[in-house]
């Protein structure tokens, strides 16, 4: 395999390298691989990311993934990866049950860390990770959690406009993240449906994104939540070839099912300290909705609305305009003045899902080179984790009132 980065020009080679070791090579691993390869070709970065090592438990599978995605070497044990002296940053793209162990070991070994969301499976793990990240900062090592939707140019623009005061005092945040890949009761019981692996279900996978986005855009953490969660299909077929199905006859394996131990959907309301009210919905049962993340914010002077399915646009209502001309208008977020866009295509040409990961790497590399805490930090990840735990606690209390004729 060619030395990664050798195709770069001489100027690129003079940048100090940032040697990356990544753990995990499924969907998120593929998205991160592409971003590590692309970021320094699009943006003028102070460090040159080098995809040095890819880690996965299956030697053949990880070798194939490394070839496809351009990683220079492979490991089958994350501990070996973390121990390597030729790795500067560990990128964690594994299920949530290994985030804390890998991140804590990597920070202790003097590596920078990028960790996929949600930060951890429990608040206790997230607290330990945030503490370790803060301690590592004193040694010039930094950690970021991968809430990539902060890096859509339109959401970054929304943040800028809100910080400029365009909406004035915030009254409402309304956020939904809808998918439908579990609507089929025959869909298999993957790791995402097991609490011990994923921590929670739609709540941690999708709800975490909208909670982070809401807190980021509002510029403040949620102060309280009230929630309902539901698991619609409680048993599902074991995935073919899974560990649980091993040892069963072919016929028995086909019929075998396992328990879903996470939520399928979570619905919650929230209150910000400023008094703004928020509502959230996260589900994998919204038939026809594939990856639909929407967020709308209403303030005393105007509103903003974003829809991931139209990610090059931001809707803006300027309430200070005279009534006859006011109303939502579409900002096409493709101008060089918009966040991240001076490095990409001419106006109107548009970006997609994968660019959010490239922007994430851009911002992380700058923060590392400039010796400052990247955002979202592990402290931000912990703030989201605490909201997820509060949602689960509220849902478990099930404080649902039955409509009745009279209440005495
Ligand atoms: C699966 O539901 C998933 O890949 C999430 O894990 C990602 O975070 C989200 O961006 C898209 O959907």
Q: Is the CB of 291 under 6 A from ligand 1?
A: yes
What pLDDT shows up at residue 407?
65
Q: Is the CB of 401 under 6 A from ligand 1?
A: no
What pLDDT shows up at residue 107?
98
In angstroms, the CA 326 to CA 343 distance is 33
pLDDT one-digit tens code per residue, 251-282: 677 779 999 999 999 999 999 999 999 999 99
Please provide the average confidence, as pLDDT, over all residues in the chain. 95
Output the CA 10–ligand 1 centroid distance in Å: 37
CB-CB contact of 202 with 283 (8 Å): yes
Whether the per-residue pLDDT at 11 is higher than 90: the answer is: no
pLDDT one-digit tens code per residue, 107-153: 999 999 999 999 999 999 999 999 999 999 999 999 999 999 999 99
Output the CA 310–ligand 1 centroid distance in Å: 17
Q: Where are the beta strands (DSSP E) in 137-247?
A: 143-146, 170-178, 222-230, 235-237
Helix (H) or strand (E) segment spanning residue 125 = helix 123-137
What pLDDT shows up at residue 408?
60
Angle between the 153-163 and 208-218 helix axes, to the nearest 10 degrees? 40
Whether the per-residue pLDDT at 250 is higher than 80: the answer is: no
CB-CB contact of 368 with 105 (8 Å): no
> In this prediction, what percent of the chain has a pLDDT beyond 90?
90
The pair of three-digit structure tokens given for residue 288, joined into one six-digit string? 């026809």
Atom of ligand 1 nearest to the CA of 179: 2
Whether the per-residue pLDDT at 317 is higher than 60: the answer is: yes
Output the CA 205–ligand 1 centroid distance in Å: 6
CB-CB contact of 126 with 120 (8 Å): yes
Classify residue 169 as exposed, middle or buried by CB count within 10 Å of its CB (0-12, 13-18, 19+). exposed
In angstroms, the CA 88 to CA 81 distance is 11
pLDDT one-digit tens code per residue, 178-192: 999 999 999 999 999
Atom of ligand 1 nearest to the CA of 148: 10
Strand order, beta sheet including 313-318: 222-230, 265-272, 277-283, 170-178, 292-299, 302-307, 313-318, 329-332
């Amino acid at each position: 395999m060619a030395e990664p980065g050798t195709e770069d020009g001489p100027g690129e080679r003079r940048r100090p390298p940032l040697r990356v070791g990544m753990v995990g090579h499924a969907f998120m691993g593929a998205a991160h691989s592409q971003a590590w390869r692309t970021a320094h070709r699009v943006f003028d970065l102070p460090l040159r990311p080098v995809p040095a090592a890819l880690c996965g438990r299956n030697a053949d599978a990880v070798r194939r993934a490394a070839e496809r995605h351009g990683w220079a070497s492979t490991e089958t044990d994350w501990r070996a990866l973390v121990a390597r002296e030729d790795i500067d940053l560990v990128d964690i793209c594994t299920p949530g049950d290994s985030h804390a162990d890998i991140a804590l070991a990597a920070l202790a070994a003097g590596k920078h860390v990028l960790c996929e969301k949600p930060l951890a499976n429990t608040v206790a793990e997230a607290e330990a990770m945030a503490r370790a990240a803060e301690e590592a900062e004193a040694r010039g090592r930094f950690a970021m959690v991968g809430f990539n939707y902060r890096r859509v140019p339109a959401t970054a623009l929304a943040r800028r406009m809100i910080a400029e005061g365009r909406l004035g005092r915030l009254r409402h945040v309304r956020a939904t993240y809808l998918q439908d890949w579990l609507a089929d009761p025959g869909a298999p019981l993957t790791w995402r449906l097991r609490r011990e692996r994923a921590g929670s279900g739609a709540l941690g996978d999708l709800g975490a994104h909208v909670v982070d986005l809401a807190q980021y855009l509002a510029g403040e953490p949620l102060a309280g939540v009230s929630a309902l969660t539901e698991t619609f299909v409680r048993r599902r077929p074991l995935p073919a070839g899974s560990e649980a199905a091993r040892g069963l006859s072919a016929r028995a394996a086909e019929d075998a099912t396992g328990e879903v131990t996470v939520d399928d959907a979570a619905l919650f309301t929230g209150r910000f300290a400023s008094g703004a009210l928020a509502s959230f919905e996260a589900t994998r049962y919204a038939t026809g909705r594939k990856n639909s993340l929407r967020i709308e914010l209403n303030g005393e002077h105007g509103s903003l609305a974003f829809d991931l399915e139209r990610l090059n646009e931001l809707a803006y209502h300027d309430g200070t305009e005279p009534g006859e001309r006011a109303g939502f208008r579409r900002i096409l977020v493709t101008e060089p003045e918009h966040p991240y866009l001076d490095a990409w295509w001419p106006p109107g040409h548009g970006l997609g899902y994968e660019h959010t990961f490239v922007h994430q790497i851009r911002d992380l590399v700058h923060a590392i080179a400039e010796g400052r805490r990247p955002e979202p930090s592990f402290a931000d990840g912990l703030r989201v984790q605490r909201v997820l735990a509060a949602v689960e606690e509220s849902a478990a209390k099930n404080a649902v009132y039955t409509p009745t004729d009279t209440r005495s």
